[in-house]
Structure 1
Amino acid sequence: MPKNVADSELPTHITSLRETFLRQEEFDQTYLFLPPPQVEDKKRKFILKVFHPCLSPEQFVRFIVSFIPIVGWLPDYRWKRNLMGDFMAGITVGIMHVPQGIAYAILQGVDPVYGLYSSFFPVLFYMVFGTSHHVSIGSFAIISLMTGTSRAEILETIHDEYLHDEGHYLEQVAQLGYTSVDLRNITDYVPFHLKGVSGIQVVTVITLCVGFVHVSSSLKKYLQLLMALLRVEFVTSYLSDQLVSGFSTGASVHVIIVQLDKIFQVPVDFVDVQSVNGPGGMLMQLVSVLSKVGDMNVVTFLLSMCAFIFLYIGKDCINPLFRKKFKCVPLPFELMLVTLATVVSYIFAFEQRYQMKVVGVVPVGFPSAEMPRLELIPYVYKDAFEIAFVIVAVHLSMCKVFSRRHIYSTDNNQELYAIGLTGVISSCFLTYPVSSALGRSMLMEESGGKTQLSALFSSALVLVVILWLSPYLQYLPMCILAVILIFSMKNIFRKRDELQCLWRVSKVDFAIWMFSFICTVFTNVMWGLVLSVAFALLTTVFRTQWLEDYDFCTTAELPRWHLLSRLEGTDDYRDTGRYGRVTDIDHIRIFRFDAPLLFTNVDHFRSAVEKATITCPVMSLATLDNVLEVECPNKAIRKKCAVKRTSFKRSISEYHDSAMRRIEHLIIDCSGFTFVDFMSVNSLIEIYQQTRYNGIQVYFAGAKAPIRDMFEACGFYKSVSKDHFYPSIHDAVQAANMNQQIRLFKRAKQKRVDAEVTKIENAKFLSNSCVDDRKISIECIKAQTPIENDVEEFCMQQQQQHSNERECTDRESSTDQDDPDNQNTRTTYLSDRY
C-alpha cells in the first residue's frame, strides 16, 4: 500500500482488496517455506552419500552388487517367454559381428583377428554390467575411424622421438671416438616409455601395432570409467542429436574415402601422416586415389562392383520380400558374401594369379592376457577424451531410444560404469574401443531379442569362429571387407527428409547439422567434433541474445518476450498474441521474458522492457503481425501456426476507451527466469529504478526459490523491497488493482482540493483586476474594429459596474477575514458570476 495513506482514509471497497492477494513473504510464511541448505549440510550429505556403502558389511555387499545388474535380473529371467527370442536374436547378431569385426579391424590398421576378439569379450562383459536390453556392443565405424586416426598420429610421434634420441646417442658415440657401436644399447639412453623397443620394432610398429593400438584403446576406456566415477554423464548433453547426426555423416565420408584404395587396390603412400589426418587430409587422400585409378587392379575393382550388386539385391530387394512373406529375421547377406568370396578366392587363387590383397593368416584361439602400457598415457589422453565422449554420447542415446520404445528404465550412470568396465577388462585381451551400433541393435530388436542374455548366444557363435573357422578367413579379399563397410554406411546418408524437417522447423538446428558435417569432412574427425561442439554452444548464446531480431528464425526458436493478458472468465494469464478471447487490464502491463537472464542477453531484456513501457506507454495488446488465413483446421495443423509475433502493431483507435490510458503498473513474470547472474541482477535494479522514475510501479511475480536466493545473495532486496514480490501473476494483478484504486482515490481527493483553491484564486484575481487594464482593452478593441455608439456606451457601463464591485469587495474583505463561511459564499458567488 502506498505510503502516507492510512487505512482509515480509504473507502471500504479499496481496503477489502487487500484480502484478495498475498505477497511473497506472506505466502512463504503461510506455507512454511524452507530456506536453502547451508554449505555444511551439503558437505554432510555428500560425505554420507560417499561413505554410506561402508557403514556396514551388508551395505557394502549391496553396493558392490549394484554394479553387477545381472545378479538382479538373471534369477527373475522368464525362460519360457524370452529364451527363444534371445537365442534367435543372438545368433543373428553374432553372424553380423563376424564380418563387421574383421572389417573394422582393418579400418583401424590392425589384424582382423582383433576384430573377432572385440566382438567376443566386450559383448560378454556388457551383458554382466549393462542395463539396456537391446543395444548391441561391438565394433562401430565412427569409433574405429577415430581410433585408427589416433593410432597413426601417435605412432608417427613416437617414431620421430625415437629417431631423435637415436641420433643424439650416435652423436655422443662419435664424440667419444668409437668406430663401432652396438645399437642394442640404445635402449639405455632413450626415454623410459621406449624401454624395450628396438629401432626395427619402431619402424615395423605400423604393421605390427597389435599391442600399441589396444594400449591406447584401453586408456580411452579408463577415461570412461573415470567419467562414471565422477558422474559426468551430463557432459554428453552438449552433443545434440543434430550435432551427432551431422558429425556421423561427415565421419562416414572419411570411412568411405579411407576404403577407396582397397576398392581399386592402388598404392597410397604419405610421408607425413599428421598432414593427411589434419585439415583437408581426406581430400588429399581422395585426390591421391583418383590420380592412380589408372594403376588399379582391374580384377579387384570388378570383384568389388559384383559385391556391391550382390549386397544391394540381397539386402534391399530380396530381404524386404522375404521378411514380408515369412515373417522372420533377415537373411545374413554379409556373411554369405564373406563365405562366397572366400571360397571363390581360394579356388581361383586370386592372391597368386591377380596379386589381390587378402586378409592373410588369422591365428586360432585366444591371446594371453596382458596389461596395457600405462606409460603411453601422455600420448593418447587428448584423443582418448574425444573418443570416450563420442562413445558415451552414442551409447546413451541408443539406450534412451530403446528404453522408451519398450517401456523400461536404464541407469545412465550405471551405463557409464558398464561401458567403462567393459573396456578396461577387455583391454587386457587385445581389443579395440567398442560402442553400441544402431544397425546391430535394430537387428536384435527385429529378431525378437528381449534381454541382455542374447549377447551370450552371439558370443558363442563368434567363439566358434575364433576357435575353429578363423583359418579359413585368410583367403578373404580385402576389397570385400571394404565393400561391407561402405555399404553399411548407406543409411547414414539418407538425410534428405531429416534436413528438410530441420530447415522447416529450426534454421539454427539445420546450421548445426551442416556445420558439423562440413567441419568433419574438411578437417578431420577429432577437430570436427571439437568445432561442432563449440559452434553448438555458440548458437545457444545466439538464441538467447540476438535471435529475436532475425527474420530467418521460426517462432519456436525465438527467446521471446511476451505481453500477457487475462483469459476471459479465468484468473489465468497467457500470451496476448496467441489468444483472441483475452481481457487487457487497464493501466497494467504484464511482461514475460522466456530465457535465463544472463550478461549475454540483459541488454535485450532492458530494451524489451523499454519497448513494453516507455516506447509505447499507452495500453495496447501484443498482436499477430500477419493474420492467419486458415481455410480449414487440417491446413492450420500442417502449418503448425508458424507465424511471427510482434508488439504494438495495432493502431490505438482499435482499443476503444481503454486505449489512451497510460501504463502505471508493470508486472514482470519471473517464472521464465531459469537462472540469473550477478550482472543481470545489478541491471535489474537499474531497470527497476528507471521504470519507477518514469512513474511506473514495478511488481515481480512467480520468481522461483533459486532466483530469490540469488537476489538475496546479490543484495537485490537492499534496493528493491520484498513487498514488490508476489507468488503469482494474479496476486500481483490484484495488488496493482488495489494500488491503482488508491492512486485514483488520492487523485480525486487532490482534484477537489485543487478545485477549491482554484476558485479562491480566481475570485482574488477578479477582485484585484485593474480598471485601467479594462480601459486599455476597450481602446485596443476600438482601434481594431469599428464600434457603434451603443456598444461603446455598454462597455463604459460595464466598466463602471466593475469599479463599484471592486470598492465593495475591498471594504468587505477586512471584515470577512475572520468569517470563513462568508468568504466561501462570496467566492462561490464570484465564481458563478464570472
Structure 2
Amino acid sequence: MPFASDPTVTYSVGDFHVEGKQNGPARLRVSRAVYDQTSFDATYGLCDPGPPLTPWESIKSYGRRTVNKARSKRCNASSFYRGLVRWIPFIGWIRTYNIRGYLITDFIAGITVGVLNVPQGMAYALLAACPPVTGLYTSFFPIIVYFLMGTSRQCSIGTFSITSMMTSRMVLNANPYPEKLTFPNGTKYTNPEFHEIINGSAFTRGEWGAIQVGSTAALFVGIWQLILGLIGAGGMSVYFSDQLVQGFTCGAAFHVFSSQLKSVFKLPMTEFYGSFKLIKTWIQFFSLIKQTHIPTLVVGIICLVFLLIVKIGINDNKRIMRKLRVPLPAELVVVIFGTLASYEMDLENNYHVSILKKIPMGLPPATLPDFGVLPDIIGDTFSNAIVGLAITVTLGMLFASKHGYRIDPNQEFKAQGIGNIFGSFFQCFPSGASLARSAVQNDVGGKTQIVSVVQCCIVLIVLLALGKFLEPLPKPVLGAIVMVSVFHLLAQVLQLGRLWKLSLYDWSIFLVVFLGVLILDVDIGLGLGVGWAIITIMLRLQKPKIGALGRLPGTDIYRRTDVYKTAIEVPGVKIVRIDSPIYFANVAYIQGRIYQLADLNNLIAKWREEHPVKELITPASFDVAPDDQNKYAYALNLELGDSDDEDGTKGSSRYRGAPTISMEELHNTQRRVFEQEGILGEGQDQPIKHIIVDCSEICFVDVTAVGFFKRIQSECESIGVELLLACTNKPVRDALYQCGANDFIKEFQVFVTVHDAVLYAVNSHKFQKPSTHTKLSIVDGNSNGILHAYTNGLAPQSPVPRPGLEDVIESPEEEEVRSEGQNHFREKEHRL
C-alpha cells in the first residue's frame, strides 16, 4: 500500500522528487534526459565499456584468473585452517556451540532418535536383504563421518527405506550364495550352502554373501557421491524439485510397503525385478493369500494397529504434542514387548514365527569388500547414489530454510560419499538421510549434529551389551515397523489433487515420476521423472507469454493490455514484451506472435500491393492544422499521478492555459493528421510506425535469436516501420554484439526503458512539424509533476546530439506554462 505523509513536505534529491499527500499515495516527480543505451552507458560510466570477449578469450581470461589466484595463495596456518574447515565443518561450528542453549535439547533429541534408530536399523536391514545387525552397523559408522563433515544440522543419516530397497535388488541379484538354485529345466531348489554356518562366524554363507554385496555397493555408492562432490555437481540438486522428490518417494513407498507383505503374512513369495515388478508382486500376493501363516499375521496386525494408534492419535496430534514435547517411541515399545512375548511364548518353536536368531556382539572387524560382484551392481550403485543425494540435499535445504542457515550441496555430497566409503569396510550397506528420523530430530528440538553423537552412543550400547537380548524378536514386528514408517510417504499421493488446482506442469511432474516408479521401477521412474521435468522447462520456454503493452494512465508504467483494463496502447507504436529467453526452439513461435500482435503480415502484404517496386518513404514536410498541432503537443503530457485537484475536480489542470486531452482525442487528432497526409483513408486506424520490444524478461539469446532480430528488422525497415529495443541487459547486448547485430540494429535503437523508447517513437512520427527547437518538455496535465526530456543531450549539464530527436513540440506559450509549473514545483520544495 502506498505510504501517506504530510502534504506540505516535498523530499528532493537532485532531479528526483517525492511529494507527500495526506490520505493518499506519495507523488513521484522525475526530471531527466531521454536515454538510449549508448548515451546512458557513457553518462553513468559502464564498468566494462569495451567489446565483449569471445568464447576463446573468455576461456583464456578465466585460466589467467585461476592461475593468478593460485599464485597469490600462500601456504600458511590461516589458509590451512580455512581449507580444513571447508572439508570438516565440525571444526568451525563446534567453537561457537551454545552449550547452555543447545546441549539439553540436543541430548534429548539424540536419545529419542537413537531409540527409534535401533528397531528401524534392523528392519531396514531386512528390507535390504541383509542380516539385521548390519542395519545397526549402518546406523553407526557413516554417522560418525557425517557428524564431522555434514553441513545440515537436522538430517539423520543411517538406514533409509528407499535406499535399502534399492540395495536389496543388488544383493539378491549378485549374492554369490543364492538361496535358490535353478536347474537347466527351470525348476528351483534350495541351495544347501545358503544356510551353512561359516566357521567362527555368526553368519551363514548366504548372509555373508549378502554382507559382501551390500558393503561393495556402499563402497561404490560412496565413490560416485564423492566424485560428484569433487566436480561441483551440487548444482544438479536444483533439478530435483519438490514435486519430483514427492512423486518419487511416494512411488517408492509403495514398493517398500509391498516388500514387507512376505514377512508379515509369511508367504512363500519370490522376488521380481525390472518393469511391472509391483504389479507382479501383488498378483502373486493375492494368489498365495490362502497360505497365510495366521500366528505371524496376528503378531504383525497387533504391531501395525498399535503403531498407527500412537502415530496418528498421539505423535501426529499437535494438541497432545504441545504437552508431551517428546514423541512416544512406539517402535521401541513394540520391539521390547515383541521380544518379551516371543521369549516367554517361544513363538519360533510353538507357533513357527520367524525370529532374528543370533546377533553378533561387538563391533565388526574391518574387511575389504568383494570386488568380484562389482560387474553385476556397478550400474545400480550410480542410481542409488543419486537417489541418496537427492533426498539428503532436499531434506537439508528444507530444514536450512526453516531454521535460517545454509547448506553446501557439494559438501553434502562429499560427506555422504566418504561416510559410505568408510562404512563399507565395516559391513555397512548404502546409507542416506531418513525422512522419518530427520522429522523427529527436528520436532524434538535438535539444533546441531551433536544429536548424532548421542544417537551413536545408543546404537553402540546395543551392539556391545544388548544385542543378545534382541535375538527372539519376531520378524513380523520389524515388517510392521517398516510399513508404518512409510505411511506419511504414501499419503503424499493426495498432493495430486492440490497440484491440479495450482499448476498443471507441477502436477504432471508428480504424476509422471510417481507412475514411472510405480509401474516400471525405482531407477527407471526417477530417470523418467527428471527427463520429464526438463521437458516441462523446455515446453514453457518454447511457447512463452508474449503480449502487447499499454501505458497506465497517469504513469510512465507499461503493462499488458490483456491484464490491465486501463492500459492504453500508444497510437502508432506497438510495444511487445517477451517473457522468456530467445533461442532456437522458440524463435519461430516468438516471431509469429510478434507478427500477429503488430499485424505485420497484413502491413507487408498491403505495402507490396501499393508499392510494386520496393522503396522506403522518407519523412516529408507537410502542413498540419494549428489546432491539431497544438492538441498533439499537449497530448504528450504523460500524467505522473491521478489525484483530485484543489478544487475537487478530477484530473483538472493547475496550470492555467495548459489544455488536457484524452487518449481518444489524441487518437482522433492523429487520425486527422494522417488523413491530411493521405496515408489513411477516412475511418482507418493509425498504422504502426514503431515496434518496441521490451527485453526486460529476456535473460539470454543465442545465434538463432540474432537472426530473428535481423529478419524482423529487415522486414520492418522495408515497410517504413522502425524496430526499437528496450530494457536489454548487458549479457543480451553482448551476445547481440558478438553475433554482428550492430550491423542492422543501430545504437540509437536500443533504449534504457520502454518509456524512453516511446518518447523517441512519438517524437519521430513523421506527421510532426520540424522546428529549430531542441528541447522536449512533457508537462503533466494534472499538475502533479513535470518530466523534462532533453532531446539533444545525455543530461542537462552535458548536451550531446542525439539522432532522430530534433523536432520540437513546444510552442512559446507552452514553454511559459512549463516555466510556471516549474516555479510552482520549486516553491513546494521549500515548504517544510
TM-score, normalised relative to structure 1: 0.72
What letter corresponds to residue 511 of structure 1 in structure 2?
Answer: S
Q: Deviations over 1:761-804 (max 9, x none)?
A: xxxxxxxxxxxxxxxxxxxxxxxxxxxxxxxxxxxxxxxxxxxx
State which of 496, 521, 525 in structure 1 corresponds to 2:522.
Answer: 525
Describe how 1:535-684 pairs up with structure 2 within 5 A: 535-546=532-543, 559-614=544-599, 660-684=685-709
Residue of structure 2 equivalent to 1:474: 471
Describe how 1:746-761 pairs up with structure 2 within 5 A: none
Do the aligned partners of residues 525 and 673 (structure 1) sit closer, same or farther apart at CA in structure 2, a change above 3 Å counting? same
Residue of structure 2 equivalent to 1:256: 257
State which of 24, 36, 39 in structure 2 corresponds to 1:23.
Answer: 36
What letter corresponds to residue 740 of structure 2 in structure 1?
Answer: G
Do the aligned partners of residues 616 and 292 (structure 1) sit closer, same or farther apart at CA in structure 2, a change above 3 Å counting? same
How far is the alpha carbon of 1:328 from its aligned partner?
2.2
How far is the alpha carbon of 1:494 from its aligned partner?
2.0
Between structures 1 and 2, the one with greater helix share: 1
Instruction: Pick which of 317-326 and 493-502 moved more.
Output: 317-326
The question of whether the paired residues in 2 share the 8 Å contact of 1:323 and 1:329 is answered with no
Residue of structure 2 equivalent to 1:232: 233
1:578 is paired with a residue whose SS is coil
State which of 297, 303, 308 in structure 2 corresponds to 1:301.
Answer: 297
Residue of structure 1 equivalent to 2:358: 361
1:214 is paired with a residue whose SS is helix
Residue of structure 2 equivalent to 1:713: 738
The 1-side partners of 2:181 and 2:476 are apart by 35
Do the aligned partners of residues 290 and 657 (structure 1) sit closer, same or farther apart at CA in structure 2, a change above 3 Å counting? farther
Q: Deviations over 1:521-553 (max 9, x none)?
A: 11110111111111221222222224xxxxxxx
The 1-side partners of 2:267 and 2:158 are apart by 30
Residue of structure 2 equivalent to 1:814: none
The 2-side partners of 1:386 and 1:215 are apart by 15
The 2-side partners of 1:53 and 1:356 are apart by 66
Describe how 1:317-336 pairs up with structure 2 within 5 A: 317-319=313-315, 320=317, 323-324=320-321, 326-336=323-333
Q: Deviations over 1:723-780 (max 9, x none)?
A: 321222122222212222x554479xxxxxxxxxxxxxxxxxxxxxxxxxxxxxxxxx
Q: Deviations over 1:225-259 (max 9, x none)?
A: 11111101111222221111111111111111111
Residue of structure 1 equivalent to 2:400: 403
Once superposed, what is the RMSD of the aligned Cα atoms?
3.1
1:208 is paired with a residue whose SS is helix
Q: Does 1:70 align with 2:90?
A: yes
Do the aligned partners of residues 155 and 397 (structure 1) sit closer, same or farther apart at CA in structure 2, a change above 3 Å counting? same
The 1-side partners of 2:704 and 2:601 are apart by 27
What letter corresponds to residue 79 of structure 2 in structure 1?
Answer: Q
The 2-side partners of 1:322 and 1:359 are apart by 38
Residue of structure 1 equivalent to 2:750: 725
Residue of structure 2 equivalent to 1:191: none
Residue of structure 2 equivalent to 1:788: none
Describe how 1:278-289 pairs up with structure 2 within 5 A: 278-289=274-285
The 1-side partners of 2:144 and 2:100 are apart by 22
Residue of structure 2 equivalent to 1:346: 343
State which of 142, 145, 149 in structure 1 corresponds to 2:162.
Answer: 142
The 2-side partners of 1:159 and 1:657 are apart by 93
The 2-side partners of 1:743 and 1:19 are apart by 26
Q: Does 1:90 align with 2:113?
A: no
The 2-side partners of 1:394 and 1:663 are apart by 54
The 2-side partners of 1:50 and 1:104 are apart by 47
The 1-side partners of 2:426 and 2:480 are apart by 28
What letter corresponds to residue 281 of structure 1 in structure 2?
Answer: K
Q: Deviations over 1:414-440 (max 9, x none)?
A: 222222222222222222222222221
How far is the alpha carbon of 1:509 from its aligned partner?
1.3
How far is the alpha carbon of 1:154 from its aligned partner?
4.0
Number of residues paired by the alignment? 642
1:74 is paired with a residue whose SS is helix
Residue of structure 1 equivalent to 2:611: none
What letter corresponds to residue 527 of structure 2 in structure 1?
Answer: V
Q: Does 1:734 align with 2:759?
A: yes
The question of whether the paired residues in 1 share the 8 Å contact of 2:218 and 2:421 is answered with no
The 1-side partners of 2:427 and 2:535 are apart by 40
2:406 is paired with a residue whose SS is coil
1:663 is paired with a residue whose SS is coil
Residue of structure 2 equivalent to 1:690: 715
The 2-side partners of 1:161 and 1:378 are apart by 20
Identify unmatched segments of 5+ residues in structure 2. 1-30, 185-197, 199-203, 604-663, 671-683, 772-832
The 1-side partners of 2:69 and 2:175 are apart by 43
The 1-side partners of 2:668 and 2:142 are apart by 74
The question of whether the paired residues in 2 share the 8 Å contact of 1:105 and 1:144 is answered with yes
Do the aligned partners of residues 518 and 455 (structure 1) sit closer, same or farther apart at CA in structure 2, a change above 3 Å counting? same
Work out the percentage of aligned pairs sharing the same amino acid.
30
The 2-side partners of 1:717 and 1:381 are apart by 53
The 2-side partners of 1:232 and 1:325 are apart by 41
The 1-side partners of 2:478 and 2:461 are apart by 20
How far is the alpha carbon of 1:336 from its aligned partner?
0.3
What letter corresponds to residue 305 of structure 1 in structure 2?
Answer: I
Q: Deviations over 1:490-543 (max 9, x none)?
A: 111223652222101111211111111111111110111111111221222222
Do the aligned partners of residues 325 and 26 (structure 1) sit closer, same or farther apart at CA in structure 2, a change above 3 Å counting? closer
The 1-side partners of 2:379 and 2:74 are apart by 35
Describe how 1:484-503 pairs up with structure 2 within 5 A: 484-495=481-492, 498-503=495-500
Do the aligned partners of residues 102 and 538 (structure 1) sit closer, same or farther apart at CA in structure 2, a change above 3 Å counting? same
Residue of structure 2 equivalent to 1:813: none
The 2-side partners of 1:206 and 1:655 are apart by 87
Do the aligned partners of residues 723 and 321 (structure 1) sit closer, same or farther apart at CA in structure 2, a change above 3 Å counting? closer
1:676 is paired with a residue whose SS is coil
The question of whether the paired residues in 1 share the 8 Å contact of 2:348 and 2:355 is answered with yes
Do the aligned partners of residues 500 and 653 (structure 1) sit closer, same or farther apart at CA in structure 2, a change above 3 Å counting? farther
1:223 is paired with a residue whose SS is helix
How far is the alpha carbon of 1:298 from its aligned partner?
0.9
Do the aligned partners of residues 277 and 111 (structure 1) sit closer, same or farther apart at CA in structure 2, a change above 3 Å counting? same
Q: Deviations over 1:629-671 (max 9, x none)?
A: xxxxxxxxxxxxxxxxxxxxxxx99987779222110000112
What letter corresponds to residue 572 of structure 1 in structure 2?
Answer: I
1:563 is paired with a residue whose SS is strand
What letter corresponds to residue 747 of structure 2 in structure 1?
Answer: K
How far is the alpha carbon of 1:21 from its aligned partner?
1.9
What letter corresponds to residue 561 of structure 1 in structure 2?
Answer: I
The question of whether the paired residues in 1 share the 8 Å contact of 2:361 and 2:464 is answered with yes
How far is the alpha carbon of 1:102 from its aligned partner?
0.6
Work out which of the two has the higher radius of gyration on C-alpha atoms and give 1 or 2. Answer: 1
Q: Deviations over 1:561-608 (max 9, x none)?
A: 121222333222222222234343121111111112122111110111
Residue of structure 2 equivalent to 1:110: 130
Do the aligned partners of residues 710 and 153 (structure 1) sit closer, same or farther apart at CA in structure 2, a change above 3 Å counting? farther
State which of 34, 46, 50 in structure 2 corresponds to 1:32.
Answer: 46
The 2-side partners of 1:52 and 1:418 are apart by 29
The question of whether the paired residues in 2 share the 8 Å contact of 1:597 and 1:680 is answered with yes
The question of whether the paired residues in 2 share the 8 Å contact of 1:266 and 1:297 is answered with yes
